[in-house]
Chains A and B, each alone.
Chain A
Amino acid sequence: MLQIINKLKKSFGQDNIESRQVAKERLQLVLTHDRISTSNNFIEKFKADIKNAVLEYVEISDNDIDVRIEKSEENGAIISKLVANIPIKNIKGRI
């Protein structure tokens, strides 16, 4: 009976936030951070690969590479965001 009442409540929008969806979104977000913070070399490897890709096009200095994964809010939802701050020293040739 309680289930039917809950169902009705849901269909009439009184309780339309499905906790299942909330759980999934929260998990996906927290696991992105867990996986990065518990992996020994994830960020280091990621940095190295990004650096190599960037070096194809521009000159940069080794010490200036700042690559992070941050939480940020976009349109009311919390998302994970890759933030890279890499000052360019020079463009390689005329592409």
Chain B
Amino acid sequence: MGEVIVITSGKGGVGKTTTTANLATGLALAGKKVAALDLDIGLRNLDIVLGLENKIVYDLVDVVRGNCDYNKALIKDKRYEGLYLLPSSQIKDKTSVSPEEIKQLCNVLRKQFDYILIDCPAGIEQGFKNAIAGADKSIIVSTPEVSSVRDSDRVIGLLEAEGKTDNMLIINRYNVKLVNNRDMLSAEDVNDILMLDLIGIVPDDEGIIKSSNKGEPIISDNKLFISKIYQNIVRRIMGEDVDFISPEEEKLSIIGKLKRLLEINPLKKGRNYVTNNKQA
């Protein structure tokens, strides 16, 4: 039986769709059979980030309404063996599906896939309720900004109220320079507040924009540092215990090196925290 994981954040624009695209691709590259579901009804985007926008015939609402079989609506990604996309609908509104219908769909897909990743819309209204309905686990994507952390906290509260307590955290758009300058919340700061199982710290990287421009998830480019970071997240999702690479290891500024010598590296503590958290 497959596992259903929802990628959510409350706040918009923090990178849910990019994260979903990369993790789904990464799981497929790791040999898993993956269905990526876009639940952002009316604002379809996972298709274009994955580069599958021209392949759509049927969508999620067609499946839920019974207009077609789910197998017909699933788009097979020819580049990555095992990766499938169920696109969202662009025309119908969010109320055209119910949480119960999504739950049923997830239970059907579970039988055929190892992982079902759900790209949740921003907000905490109907679309959010639909997206979390069938999920076993959640990945909260938060940037180290006050607005994003606050919204994440709210979303975690709502998930817990639904009895969903298996929640993981990805800190996105991490700017090491700002953190070292003490002008951005560190990974440790963010997780001191959210207190989740931290599974990844993804640096702010201009390569992300280029990859969505091309419709090729960045995780497939092995040469890049950020791709290694995503691959490690994928391994953690699959249950492996993987050491954290500091986003600093790629390019250390002179000041960063000096700071490291003087042992004021904020991430070191962060990593210990993660380990402690796991043991706890």
Chain A positions near chain B (C-beta within 8 angstroms): 3-4, 6-7, 10, 18-21, 23-24, 26-28, 30-31, 34-35, 38-40
Q: Check B153–A3 contact: CB distance below 8 A.
A: no
Q: B189 at the A/B interface (Cβ < 8 Å)?
A: yes
By CB atoms of chain B within 10 A, which of A23, A24, A27 has the most?
A27
The listed residue (A4, A30, A38) touching B157 by CB distance below 8 A is A38
Closest to A15 in B: B183
By CB atoms of chain A within 10 A, which of B161, B183, B185 has the most?
B183
Chain A residues touching B, majority SS: helix
Q: B179 at the A/B interface (Cβ < 8 Å)?
A: yes
Q: Check A35–B153 contact: CB distance below 8 A.
A: yes
Q: B177 at the A/B interface (Cβ < 8 Å)?
A: yes
Complex: A58 Cα to B192 Cα, angstroms: 38
Chain B positions near chain A (C-beta within 8 angstroms): 146, 149-150, 153-154, 157, 161, 177, 179, 181-186, 189, 192-193, 253, 255
> A20-B189, A23-B146, A28-B193 are known contacts. Are A34 and B153 too (CB-CB below 8 A)?
yes
The listed residue (B149, B182, B192, B253) touching A18 by CB distance below 8 A is B182
Given contacts A24-B185, A24-B189, A31-B153, 9 further A-B contacts (CB under 8 A): A3-B177, A3-B255, A7-B181, A18-B183, A27-B193, A31-B150, A34-B154, A38-B154, A38-B157
Q: Check A24–B157 contact: CB distance below 8 A.
A: no
- Taking CB atoms, residues of chain B closer than 8 Å to A24 are 185, 189, 192-193
> A28-B193, A38-B157 are known contacts. Are A19 and B146 too (CB-CB below 8 A)?
no
Identify 11 residue pairs between A and B in the complex whose beta-carbon atoms are under 8 Å apart, listed by A's number. A7-B255, A10-B182, A20-B183, A20-B189, A21-B182, A23-B184, A26-B146, A30-B150, A31-B153, A31-B193, A35-B157
The listed residue (B149, B185, B192, B255) touching A20 by CB distance below 8 A is B185
Complex: A27 Cα to B179 Cα, angstroms: 17
Closest CB of chain A to B124's CB: distance in Å? Answer: 10
Complex: A36 Cα to B168 Cα, angstroms: 23
- Taking CB atoms, residues of chain A closer than 8 Å to B153 are 31, 34-35
Q: Check A20–B186 contact: CB distance below 8 A.
A: yes
- Taking CB atoms, residues of chain A closer than 8 Å to B192 are 24
- Taking CB atoms, residues of chain A closer than 8 Å to B181 are 3, 6-7, 10
The listed residue (B150, B184, B253, B255) touching A27 by CB distance below 8 A is B150
Closest CB of chain B to A54's CB: distance in Å? Answer: 28
Q: Check A4–B255 contact: CB distance below 8 A.
A: yes
Complex: A38 Cα to B10 Cα, angstroms: 15
- Taking CB atoms, residues of chain A closer than 8 Å to B253 are 3
Q: Check B157–A39 contact: CB distance below 8 A.
A: yes
Complex: A26 Cα to B255 Cα, angstroms: 28
Closest to B182 in A: A18
